Amino acid sequence: MDINKNKLSTMDPNMLLSIVNMKLRDQYSSLKDLCQAYDIDEYLLSHRLDNLGYEYDYDQNQFKTK
């Protein structure tokens, strides 16, 4: 499953978190790389997940509970 930038704000939060963390684990070495590949605004993605209680951990390259 891919991340669709048009549905970013309406995608089920659990699905979004799962997809993003899977892509970060399996395909991308950074959040910046993932966002560039899908033409997603890094701030908007981080902000959406932040509002759901998650923050990006640069060292582990994944979103984790705050």
In-domain check, residue 4: no
For residues 1-22, average pLDDT = 88
Read off the amino acid at residue 52: L
Instruction: Inform me whether the pLDDT recorded for 22 exceeds 90.
Output: yes
Domain that holds residue 42: 12-65
**pLDDT in the model for residue 49:** 96
Q: Note if the pTM is more than 0.85.
A: yes
Q: Is the pLDDT of residue 1 over 80?
A: no
E strand or H helix at 56, and its extent? strand 54-57
6 within domain boundaries: no
The reply to whether 58 falls in a domain is yes
Q: Please report whether residue 7 resides in a domain.
A: no
Q: Is residue 59 part of a domain?
A: yes
pLDDT in tens, 31-59: 999 999 999 999 999 999 999 999 999 99
Residue 10: pLDDT above 80? yes
Total structural domains within the chain: 1
Can you count the helices (H) and strands (E) in the chain?
A: 3, 2
